[in-house]
Each structure stands twice: as C-alpha cells, then as structure tokens.
Structure 1
Amino acid sequence: MLSRRGALLLAAGGLAQLSGRGARPIARPAAEPAGAGPSARPRIEALLSRRARALLTADRAGLLADVAPEAQGAQQSALARCRALPFAELSYRMTDFTQSRSVDRVTVLADLGYRLRGVDDHPALLGRTLEFVRRDGTWLLAGDEPTGAAALWDLGTVQAVHGSRSLVLGLAGSTELQMIAQIADQAVPAVREVWGDGWADRLLIETARSEEQFARLLNVSAADYQGIAAVTTAAAGAPHGTAADRILLNPDAFAGLSDLGRRVVTTHEATHVATRADTKPWTPLWLSEGVADYTGYRGRGRTARQIAPELAGDVTAGRLPTALPLNADFAAGSAGIAQAYELAWLACELIATRWSEQHLVALYRAVGAAEPAGPQGLDGLFRTQLGIGLDEFTRRWIDEVRRLPTLS
C-alpha cells in the first residue's frame, strides 16, 4: 500500500503521455464515409470550430445554437462545469468520422486540445466521442463524451484556486483547494533548492472528489491505484521534455495523510515536474523515484527508520536486497512496492550524504543525457560522476541497508 508517496506513471518503460492513456487509437486522418454527402464533413468541422470558440469564451448562446434540443440541458451544464478554467486556447481536431446508415447521424472521434493560461506552453489533448444529428438540413451536436480518460469537468463543476506558485483545479470546496495551493506553493521553492530554476517553477494540481473519479482521470482501475496519493502526468500533445505537467491527487488517499505526508507527497511530485526534461525512458525508476523521495523528505527532520519503516522491518527479519530495485518493483499493486520506494530513497540519500547533493543532481542529469546501454553504461556514468563503479556502489548501498535499524 503506497500510503504516503505518489508514483510516476510509466508506459512501455517511458513517461506516460496521459489524457487518453492507452485508450485512444493513434490519430489518423478522418475519412469521408460512403453516403455522407459532400457537405457533411465541412459543416461538422465548422460546427466544431464554433463549439471550441464558444467554450473558450464561455458563450452560452453561441454554444447552444449548435446543439440539438434534447442535448441542450447537458451541454449547458457542461459549459457551467468548466467556466472557471482559465483557457488560453481550445480547439478540436477530427480523427475519425462515421456516418450511420440513415445518413442523418454522424459519430466523430476528435482530439480536444486545450491550453491553460499561465501554465501550458503546448495544448494538452483529450480524446472525445461526439454525436451529431441532422435536423431540417442542419447538423447539430447530440452528445460529447470522453474517449478513454475523462476531463476534470466531465466529473463535476471545477473550481480554480490561484496560489503564488500554483494553480489548483478541483471539485472540492475552496477551503480544501486553498490548503492544497499553500502546500504546492511551499513545494516549489523546496524543489528549486535542489534542482534549480530551469523548469516551470509552478505547479498545476488537479483533484477530483473520490478515488473512483481519480481513476477515471487516468483511465485506470481504481483498485490498482488504491492508496496512491498522487501521480504526475505529462500533458498529451506536448513535446517530450516540456514542463506541461499535471499533478493529479487521489482525494481519498491524500486526505488520509498527515500534514507532513501531504507536503512530502506534493514535493515528491513537484520533483518529477522539475526533472522532467532530464528524465528519459532509460532513467531507472529507482533513480527517478529515489530523487523525488529524497527531495520530498529533505529537511523534514525525519529519521531513516521513520522514512523507511517497512525496509527496517525486513532488515530486522534478516531480509536484505541483493540488487537495486527493478522498474517492475514500482508498478502499482506490486508486492513490496513500499520497500522499493524506501530502497530507492536510501540509494539517493547515500549519494547525497557520502558524496554531495550536487553529485546526486549531476548523476541524474548525466543519466538522462547519456542514454546508457544497460548496467554497463550506467557503470561508466557512476565512475565518471562518483568515482566508483555500479557494483561497488551497490555493495555500499547494501551495507547502508543493513545498518538501517541502527540509523537515527
């Protein structure tokens, strides 16, 4: 049970580009179906353009002008639910187009691209399934649903709280969102102290009302993420390495944390945001999760045994690791996932203590820049950055694990 940490989501060994994680097909040019008529597609594309403009400007009349009567209540509600979002840009791109046999109904798959003011450099993408009907020769929207991952506004009315270094979007009350913004505002300088200011220096946090809604935002099983307090996702559509990242909070798990736990988790996730440009598919998870926990616990006044209680229990029982954790050890629901995080933290704590914090940062960035070919390549980077090989470091780390029950 990952009760006090977040997790960096991975897909095929790399950073996940969420907002439709694993659920949307690869976008392909929309094909005009047989029997659709020469005017159907351009008219619907024009309707989508008007719809995007109406959502962007919160133009209720303009939005409803293109909506079928039976769908107007739902669309009016949808507009109200996203009114607080600071959209700077919004557009639809059609990816599939299917005409029914009656030729009076069309199903469209589209990417909804949106950029938030003061946060995004590139639009995030959401997959949508839209239904259109033809009435008296005019095409009207009959439905708009998520394809895969839901948008926050699909789940309820979004409120926005602007912190000094954060934007918090959520379905909870403003008092709770303000508390989250205060924690986020403190996490930013804590991360900057270690990783510098070469990142966005600002956080975007989203929180739903329940663990089930949290899972819908990720398009994952709620059971697999039970107890995980937060995840960091990269906005789909942004070039790899940009700072357009979202921290998604699991409200049930986050609420169960102590004040310290919330601060550690938020700083952990903020570290993933700050290090995204240096984090590559080949970066070992023990290193990326280890530096995030190291930064999260830095200066918190916690002892090693308090930070790694499960691992300390294993050592007392005579169970010692023989190698650094594998990527699979960090998968949601994996047995021993808590120990994997604790082992990773201890490895990075060892580097920062025996060498220096600057050495830890330099090693992390060197791994991201070098694309090491397996353990041999990583061994060379350890020798360059720390003066010892990977095997020797692993031996020293195991010695540190063995000493954990005695560490203060």
Structure 2
Amino acid sequence: PRSGDRPSSSAPAATVPRGSNLVLRTLQYRLAPSAGPERLIGGELGVRLNDAGASDTWVTPITASYALGGAARPGVDEPVIDVPQELAVARYGDDWKLLGDGSLAPDESVDPTQEVRPPELVPWAFGGLLADDVPTAGGTSSILSYPGTDRTVAKVRDQLAPAVAAVTAFWGDAWVRKAVIQVTGTPEQFAGFTRTAPGETNAAAAATVFSRIDGGAKTVIGQRVVLAPAAGQLSVAGIGVVLRHELTHVATRLDTADDAPMWLTEGVAEYVGRRGTKVDFTDVAPELSAQIAAGDVPKALPSDKDFSVDTDAARLAYQSSWSFATFVAQKYGEDKLKRMYLAVAQGGPVAKTDAALAGALGVDRATAVAQWRTWLGKQVR
C-alpha cells in the first residue's frame, strides 16, 4: 500500500459530502508460498540501498486478505477477499523495512512483451478514499469514492436503494440485494479497478467486476459496481438506469456462465435498467432507429464480437439487444423473459442456447427473430 493510503480501523473522521473514512471488517497481510529463486533488488536502487546501510533486499509475494466494512462496521459485511500482491523490503540490522510494491524490482524472468492481465487492486490503491453507507433491501450497501466525485456520490446515494428494489421486482429476492459501488474520479482509477488498459474503456459509464465465485457456497466474492468518471455527466435518472443495469449483473452472476451470449446478458440488463422509464424507442436506440428507418432491419441477434468497446457496432449491439429483450417482455411477458435468461445463460454451443430459447419461449430462434423484426418495424415510423 502507498503511504497514507491505508484504510482506517479507528473511528471515522468528520463527515464530508462523500462520506467518511473506510472501516474494514478485517484486514490481514501474510507471506504467500513462493517457488523458484528469491528476487533481489539490483541496479541503481540496489546500490543506493546498499550505500544507505541495507544488508539485504527482497521482493516477496504476499496475500492481502480483507473484507468491508464501509463507513462503519459491519457495513456490507462481505466474505473475505484474497488479493495477491508483492512487496519490496530491505534489511537494516535486525529490522526489515517496507520499501514499496514489487514494481521496484521487475521480475526479469517475465517477458515484458507478453500481455499480462492487470492485477486486482484493493480499494485503497488510490488516495482520498471515503465510504458512505446506504440502507438497501438486503442490508447495508456501501459507496466507495475518490476525490472529485461528490456530485456523482450524491446521485448514487439517492438512486441506490430504489435501484436494488427495481432489480428485485424483476428478478425476485434470490440475490444479495445489496452492493458495493465504487465511484472513480480518473480514467486510471476506473481502468485499475476494472483491470483494463487505460483508455480502453473511455466510453463506458460503469462495469461490474468480481474477485472469484465460491461454487460450493454459491457466493460471489468481491463483487463491485465500478462507475467511470463519465458517469459524473449523467442526470440523477441516468445514474438510476446505470445502477439498475449493473445491479442486474450482480443479481444474475451466479446464474450466468462465462460463455453466455452477450445479446442476452446485456440485453436483459439494459431492459431492467430502463424498465419503468417513459422514453421513446428512438431516444433509447437512435442508431438502431436510423438503420430501421433506412430499411435495414437487423436480420439476426448481435454476436459477442459486435460488443467491442466504443464502436458504432457496439452501440448498435447494445440497442438491438435491449430491443429484443423488450420485445420478448411485451409479447411473451416478463416471466418468460426471465425464464429465457435462466435457460440461455447456461451458455454452451449455439445449438444448446437455441434449444434453451425455444424451451423458454415455445418458438424456435428463427421464429422469435422474425417476430422481433416485425415488431421493430412498428417502432419506427
């Protein structure tokens, strides 16, 4: 951890607009098993440490184990999250002193040209972290935020409990019905917490991430809804749409395979996000509306590759998926929309997901798509 960025385990400081100091339910650092040679600090830094009296240096893998917490204990009272890290230390006499993280001495055995997924970060990886607790149907939810996000935090505080209730109204109460929302103030923070490359997700307003799934306990560990700096430009109603969308991912996580088609997962999340709002079809789906008006009605549901971030194809894919979910809800009812989600979200080959769709709706995919195309033509005049 960076100096000054550690979470407080004492009483919160005076309340400010974004909340107060983060209080953890638990925090522990422990050495992790390590196979292979020890990593020492060399180069110019190693020389400087030696000149300063260090008799030894070491980069060691550790595990940071923590659980929120919030503005007060027990807060969201989540399961413990294990985050692998590396620390660099130097020995002075009988004492070891912490120098920083493992980036001080890059691992020479790692090919620098090889793509490596960015590491999972702890919430206090960036300075200025504050927390605010919000009562929601499943217990306390917590808003974690960073400098420059006061107005966004206020909107989230207003919309979080209603968003949880709206997702429950569609999905039912078989989910945690609480959440951790991280409101980021810089692209670097958003990229760090979503484990993406900076600039890769500039157009995104939010993303939902998690540390791992405990299949035995049927629990999602470390699930977070991360709001991008761009979310600060949204109205209160717009924040509500984003929260309902992302909380749908939270609610459905345990029922969704990694290879579930995105037309389903994003389409239903968009449907729930906009459910109950009075907006015109062309306002929600401007690119899709223009395409339909030009006589080019989609002939198929979008593929996963169509959802590439920040492209015209991605915007069209999200709008098409939302429209298909909306069509299913209107023609077959929300119960069958949910049934379709539960069936198709099991993933697998196209033949399997097509059979799941047919079993849920009572018509095959080709018929459903043909009906959707007719419905689309009636939405744009």
TM-score of the superposition, structure 1-length normalised?
A: 0.74
On the 8 A contact 2:152/2:232 being kept in 1, the answer is no
CA 1:95 to 1:179, structure 2 compared with 1: closer, same or farther past 3 Å?
farther
SS in 1 for 2:199: helix
On the 8 A contact 2:159/2:240 being kept in 1, the answer is yes
Are 1:275 and 2:252 matched, yes or no?
yes
Please report how far the alpha carbon of residue 221 of structure 1 lies from its aligned counterpart in structure 2 after TM superposition: 2.4
Aligned to 1:87: 24
CA 1:400 to 1:222, structure 2 compared with 1: closer, same or farther past 3 Å?
farther
> Is the deviation greater in 128-137 or in 191-200?
128-137
* Partners of 2:123 and 2:226 in 1: CA distance: 10
Please report how far the alpha carbon of residue 323 of structure 1 lies from its aligned counterpart in structure 2 after TM superposition: 1.2
Q: Which has the higher contact order (CA 8 A, sep 6+)?
A: 1
* Partners of 1:82 and 1:344 in 2: CA distance: 45
Please report how far the alpha carbon of residue 99 of structure 1 lies from its aligned counterpart in structure 2 after TM superposition: 4.1
The Cα offsets for residues 172-224 of structure 1, whole Å up to 9 and x where unpaired, read as 36564233122111100010100111111011100121123211222322322
The Cα offsets for residues 377-405 of structure 1, whole Å up to 9 and x where unpaired, read as 22322232211011111111222233331
Aligned to 1:246: 224
CA 1:95 to 1:404, structure 2 compared with 1: closer, same or farther past 3 Å?
farther
SS in 2 for 1:224: coil
* Partners of 2:211 and 2:120 in 1: CA distance: 12
Letter of the 1:215 partner, please give it: A
Aligned to 1:127: 84
The Cα offsets for residues 114-169 of structure 1, whole Å up to 9 and x where unpaired, read as 11144354323333220111111222222136873443322112111111122100
The Cα offsets for residues 244-276 of structure 1, whole Å up to 9 and x where unpaired, read as 42000002x101223222111111001110111
* Partners of 2:340 and 2:268 in 1: CA distance: 11
TM-score of the superposition, structure 2-length normalised?
A: 0.79
Letter of the 1:293 partner, please give it: E
* Partners of 1:228 and 1:130 in 2: CA distance: 32
Letter of the 2:290 partner, please give it: G
CA 1:265 to 1:80, structure 2 compared with 1: closer, same or farther past 3 Å?
closer
Among 300, 304, 309, the alignment partner of 2:286 is: 309
On the 8 A contact 1:81/1:158 being kept in 2, the answer is no
Among 149, 155, 175, the alignment partner of 1:179 is: 155
Unaligned 5+ runs, structure 1: 1-54, 56-73
On the 8 A contact 2:7/2:23 being kept in 1, the answer is no
- Larger helix proportion, structure 1 or 2? 1
> Is the deviation greater in 390-399 or in 236-245?
236-245
Structure 1 runs (4+) deviating above 6 angstroms are none
CA 1:169 to 1:358, structure 2 compared with 1: closer, same or farther past 3 Å?
same
Letter of the 1:113 partner, please give it: S
* Partners of 1:120 and 1:273 in 2: CA distance: 16
On the 8 A contact 1:125/1:237 being kept in 2, the answer is no
Aligned to 1:35: none
Residues 11-22 of structure 1 aligned to structure 2 (within 5 Å): none
Are 1:98 and 2:38 matched, yes or no?
yes
SS in 1 for 2:234: coil
SS in 1 for 2:62: strand
Aligned to 2:64: 112
* Partners of 1:199 and 1:372 in 2: CA distance: 20
* Partners of 1:259 and 1:80 in 2: CA distance: 29
* Partners of 1:323 and 1:155 in 2: CA distance: 43
Please report how far the alpha carbon of residue 90 of structure 1 lies from its aligned counterpart in structure 2 after TM superposition: 2.3
CA 1:227 to 1:372, structure 2 compared with 1: closer, same or farther past 3 Å?
closer
Please report how far the alpha carbon of residue 108 of structure 1 lies from its aligned counterpart in structure 2 after TM superposition: 1.2
Letter of the 1:122 partner, please give it: P
The Cα offsets for residues 72-102 of structure 1, whole Å up to 9 and x where unpaired, read as xx53x12367872232222335254724288
* Partners of 1:377 and 1:175 in 2: CA distance: 46
Aligned length: 330
CA 1:81 to 1:154, structure 2 compared with 1: closer, same or farther past 3 Å?
farther
SS in 2 for 1:346: helix
Aligned to 1:257: 234
SS in 1 for 2:219: coil
* Partners of 1:361 and 1:179 in 2: CA distance: 29
Residues 53-68 of structure 1 aligned to structure 2 (within 5 Å): none
Aligned to 2:164: 188
Among 116, 121, 127, the alignment partner of 1:156 is: 127
SS in 2 for 1:318: coil
* Partners of 1:213 and 1:250 in 2: CA distance: 8
CA 1:306 to 1:175, structure 2 compared with 1: closer, same or farther past 3 Å?
closer
SS in 2 for 1:133: strand
CA 1:305 to 1:99, structure 2 compared with 1: closer, same or farther past 3 Å?
closer
CA 1:303 to 1:279, structure 2 compared with 1: closer, same or farther past 3 Å?
same
Please report how far the alpha carbon of residue 335 of structure 1 lies from its aligned counterpart in structure 2 after TM superposition: 3.7
SS in 1 for 2:360: helix
* Partners of 2:264 and 2:320 in 1: CA distance: 10
